[in-house]
A = this chain, B = another copy of it.
Amino acid sequence: MALIGRPLRLGVVGGGPGSFIGPIHRSAAVLDGCFRVVAGVVTSRPERAAVQGAAVGLDEARSYSNVDEMIKLEAQRVDGQGIEAVAVMTPNDCHFAECSAAMQAGLHVICDKPLANSVEEARALVLLARQTGVVFCLTHNYSGYPMVRQARAMVEQGALGAIRMVNAEYLQGGMASAVESGPLSDKLKWKLDATRGGPSLVMGDIGTHAHHLASFVAVSPVTRVAADVGSIVPDRQFDDFAGMLWRFANGARGVCCVSQAAAGAENNVTVRVYGERGMLEWQHAVPNYLRHSPLGEPARTLGRGDPYLLPAAQCATRISRGHPEGFRESFANLYADFAALIAARLTSTDPDPLALRIPTVEDGLRGILFVDAALQSSRQGGGWVNCALE
């Protein structure tokens, strides 16, 4: 899908050798030919840039050790073939500066969640995105799954009628043991450091995912939250659990539970939306299917690639029905839409409305407001706290 007759040129920041998310980003970016990864910063040590860059497929000359350097030198290339977009997959505390630098240089940005570590930073990024006019995509990749898009499209179409209840869950077991007592991986080092990972590990890591996914499918933002945030592992100094009640702008209520210390869970993301005429349920463990249970009729299982799906799901599908796609393709769908929006800018055309559904910098701010409100509610004994954008 070479939207403008050629792939866009992407520079990556982070995701070096050993990274989980790095290969996902890079393979997703190129999967449809929308991007080529032509430059990157995968180490902060200049002496290692060549080797580390080569390990992820970067040319030595374009493997930098510093974002500002990459931005500057790429812009100065004599061939005019410098990067057009930046993919940020660094520790959370780096997002603000790196995204800011990229946007100020007029580069489009695709950035991992959470957007930033404070409401102030998040607001500043929203402002900067508006001022610079670049395309900004936040990788809430669950909204990139075809059947999640089908769910949203069905809600938009009114398949459920008015939405009344939204329940979401994101449970992992990786922190069920006291991993903080053992030798820490590089990843854990920054994650467990609140100045780097943010004020609440569980809320930043997965709470924001559950929040975006629920809002995305419910087609309505969360406006209030009442929360119990803390640790369910004794003597732990960081948050690994959050139970939440929430209210949506459309009036829906519901509960949300996220935990990284749910022993026995793997990476269980579930969203269920109930409306006046039925419900929809999506589970990450079986991502190619969507359950639709209409009131008074048999429950239905919709499958990715099936002919009756709505355009929003059809266009996010590469392989035909019955041939499972997965996590990688969910990222690729964000990249494809990100590319489509950039291409529309470059060609001064109207973008595909479906591509506009990617998580935006505003969504990122909503996530940070949600985290902030949940923490405040929990601290003050569990009552309601506003988290609406306006």
Among A31, A165, A289, A303, which residue has the most Cβ atoms of chain B within 10 A? A165
The docked-state distance in angstroms from the alpha carbon of A276 to that of B303 is 20
Check: A106 CB closer than 8 A to any chain B CB: no
The docked-state distance in angstroms from the alpha carbon of A230 to that of B293 is 23
Over the window 317-336 of chain A, the binary record of Cβ atoms lying under 8 Å from chain B Cβ atoms (1 yes, 0 no) is 01111111111110000000
Contact B255 A255 (CB under 8 A): yes
Known: A274-B263, A326-B325, A327-B319. A253 touches B279 (CB 8 A): no
Binds B, one of A74-82, A84-92, A109-117, A379-387: A379-387
Contact B300 A266 (CB under 8 A): no
Contact A265 B293 (CB under 8 A): yes
The docked-state distance in angstroms from the alpha carbon of A264 to that of B277 is 8
| Chain B residue at minimum C-beta to C-beta distance from A225 | B382
The docked-state distance in angstroms from the alpha carbon of A257 to that of B212 is 20
Which among B31, B253, B299 is the interface contact of A228 at CB below 8 angstroms? B253
Contacts of A254 in B (CB 8 A): 243, 257
The docked-state distance in angstroms from the alpha carbon of A241 to that of B253 is 9
Binds B, one of A126-134, A191-199, A280-288: A280-288
Contact B327 A327 (CB under 8 A): no
Q: What's the minimum C-beta distance from A22 to chain B, rounded to whole angstroms? A: 11
Interface residues of A (CB under 8 A from B): 20, 23-24, 27, 30-31, 33, 57, 160, 162, 164-165, 167, 169, 172-173, 176-177, 226-228, 230, 232-234, 241, 243-245, 247, 252-257, 259, 261-268, 274-279, 284-289, 292-303, 305-308, 318-329, 377, 380-384
